[in-house]
A and B are shown apart, each in its own frame.
Chain A
């Protein structure tokens, strides 16, 4: 998505009614967004700091909270690179070549976006759970996938699967492959062509896809909740830990962990705005 076009409205005579309508519409828009987005964000901060800064910071000393933060970081550190490599491969194959079944492939890549997060977790239980396809085989070998870290990573990869590919495919299709073809004709190798020609062209789109993928990977709740087993200190990610603390009425700690996730979302939005601004400047 490119940045907003500048609104250069001709200074024509606007009737009184139109001006009133304009103020009313802007008011409704701001109230709607304020009520649904800004108020909840404010509530998170207010609740987290309800008993002072010391209590807020103190909630991060809890070893279970630290374990949850660590697990979230580990999960994202596996899922995001995996989906980045996949996204680049998929975009290369789809944008640079014409082959049969391409539109089907694109639809299938988008599939995880259409599926409920709960289903995203459920499918891995059907696959690796005790009664699943590979359940007995795994049990014989004493390998645990669901209700353990591997299941959390798999479910996270599933829900974040399309992010990078989806960002890159239209971008690379729109850019065409003339420059890559020129590089190959001039004798550059495949790898050099990708690194020196393609990568610089797609870097902002790639960054955008990666940060969105990361935000979802760190924040996923439904899918991870189904496969995690909720073992404190072991299989709890940050969002799941928020739920446990909240249900135990430990509101300061719950909202403190939530405030970290909200911060992550804000940082994601800032990077996104910067990327869009740069992309808009390049295009214009």
Chain B
């Protein structure tokens, strides 16, 4: 049979039907639309394409989108680790509630987190007022963008690190302690190497999500061109001005960046698995 080289034989039914439907649905609803964007961009001349990409306002938006997402991912790597550590290693009242709350950014609509953050951090909000007295303005500045991206990215880091921390071999830590290692040495030599792949995965996931985030940012960022305008917003603005070429070109670049990050995440995970195997031997 022709199909025998394509798949291993199995007595279970439904292969043709389910794979056929999966491929059809995927092609019609995801691949075809993505292809439309790619081809639309391909119809631009090199000159036009580069002009759109290197436009000053666009470059300022990349700087903000990437800078803020990078900074937010770093903050999440540090504090997300502490949260994961507390949840895995310590018992304290409210631990289960705290654990359940971590997924809130996954479940809460981005527009809601956006206006909620604006309410908290705006100069009239309860925290914004206090920060204003200290001379710090969060809402409608780049700091607001970072705060929104920390919120959105937090569960990625915590949920990546948690299972890795559970896996850390406690007897190794205890052995190190017995041999006279101080807590910092135990963390540096035993815990960090064990959770590093998971931490990096969480970091990259948070970064990827942050670069493309829109809903939670636009309410708190103020959206000033050149200053607090993220790239996804610039795409929306171009669409509103019927500049479809401009929107397509910027969208295409963001798509490429998403693919690159997806690739990076896969690399990190493969590396982590290999390391785990090497350690187990």
Contact = CB atoms under 8 A, between A and B. Distances in A.
B91 A43 contact: no
B213 A5 contact: no
A5 B96 CA distance: 11
Interface stretch (B48-56, B80-88, B192-200, B271-279): B80-88
Interface in A1-25: 1, 4-5, 7, 9, 17-18, 21-22, 25
Interface in B60-92: 79, 82-83, 85-92
A220 B107 CA distance: 10
A40 B64 CA distance: 23
Nearest to A134: B36
Q: Which of B22, B34, B112, B215 has the most CB of A within 10 A?
A: B112
A277 to B, nearest CB: 10
A119 B115 contact: no
Interface in B77-117: 79, 82-83, 85-92, 94-96, 98-117
B212 interface: yes
A118 B109 contact: no
A38 B11 contact: no
Contact of A37 (B31, B151, B166, B254): B151
Contact of B7 (A17, A97, A225, A226): A97
A83 to B, nearest CB: 9
Interface in B162-213: 163, 166, 183, 208, 211-213
Interface in B110-158: 110-117, 119-120, 125-127, 147, 150-151, 154
A1 B159 CA distance: 9
B226 interface: no
Interface of A: 1, 4-5, 7, 9, 17-18, 21-22, 25-26, 28-30, 32-33, 35-41, 43-44, 46-47, 82, 85-86, 89-90, 92-94, 96-100, 105, 107-112, 114-119, 122-127, 129, 131-133, 154, 157-158, 161, 177, 180-181, 184-185, 190, 193-194, 212, 215, 218-222, 225-226, 238-240, 242-243, 246, 254-255, 258, 261-262, 264-266, 268-270, 272-273
7 contacts: A28-B82, A37-B151, A43-B119, A93-B18, A107-B262, A221-B214, A270-B100
